[in-house]
């Protein structure tokens, strides 16, 4: 069991913990916006010490690693610091393969946003929304009621199910 955990932990530890620390930055921004007095901010900083610990761990283990391998932070959208262009002491990029000059995977972002959605009632148990995204792609979302449950399909593929009670509770809390 120890060998299995060590095998899983090693890539995480060695996968590039340097990054923009976006989660920690969000906690620091909250700390600064909470109060305008420097001493109160210092006190709040001490109270938030456990939160900072969790934020740093999340940055180092998850978000900075994603940022390193994708080349972009998924929280703040900043490029990875290692991709910064600057005058360097040693230049090696001219001597290596192009695949070693950039992040190996595309940034984990979803650039699509719904630009237009048209709802129509198909029958008493079915509604359909025709979606047009900002990049021109189109999709169809269909909600089908079956007794006390509603199933949602995006382009024919089941994406989620919910109950009528859950929908009513959601409407009451978000109306």
User: Do residue 49 and residue 123 come from a single domain?
Assistant: no
* Residue numbers of the domain that contains 50: 13-110
Assign 156 a pLDDT band (cuts: 50, 70, 90): very high
**Considering the chain, what is the average pLDDT of its residues?**
84
Beta bridge partners of 153: 142, 158
Question: Exposed/middle/buried for 68, CB within 10 Å: 0-12, 13-18, 19+?
Answer: buried
Is the per-residue pLDDT at 17 higher than 70? no
Three-state DSSP class for 72?
strand
- Give the pTM: 0.49
Q: How many domains does the chain have?
A: 2
In-domain check, residue 1: no
User: Mean pLDDT across the stretch 82-93?
Assistant: 83
| Range 89-105 average pLDDT | 83
Q: Is the pLDDT of residue 14 over 60?
A: no
27 and 59 within one domain? yes
User: In terms of DSSP H, where are the helices of the chain?
Assistant: 2-13, 22-34, 38-47, 49-58, 64-70, 164-174
Q: Are residues 118 and 151 in the same domain?
A: yes
- 31-73: per-residue pLDDT in tens? 999 988 988 888 999 999 999 999 999 988 888 888 888 888 8
Q: Are residues 125 and 98 located together in one domain of the fold?
A: no
């Amino acid at each position: 069991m120890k060998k299995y955990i060590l095998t899983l932990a090693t890539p995480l530890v060695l996968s590039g913990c340097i990054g923009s620390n976006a989660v920690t930055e969000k906690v620091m921004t909250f700390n600064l916006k909470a109060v305008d007095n420097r001493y109160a901010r210092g006190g709040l900083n001490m109270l938030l010490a456990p939160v900072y610990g969790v934020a740093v761990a999340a940055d180092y283990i998850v978000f900075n690693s994603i940022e390193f391998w994708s080349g972009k932070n998924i929280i703040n959208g900043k490029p990875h610091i290692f991709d910064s262009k600057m005058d360097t002491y040693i230049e090696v990029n001219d001597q290596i393969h192009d695949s070693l000059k950039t992040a190996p995977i595309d940034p984990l972002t979803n650039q699509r946003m719904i630009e237009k959605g048209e709802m129509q009632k198909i029958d008493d148990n079915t509604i359909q929304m025709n979606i047009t995204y900002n990049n021109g792609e189109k999709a169809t979302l269909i909600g089908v009621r079956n007794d006390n449950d509603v199933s949602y399909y995006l382009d024919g593929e089941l994406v989620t199910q919910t109950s009528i009670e859950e929908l009513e509770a959601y409407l009451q809390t978000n109306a």
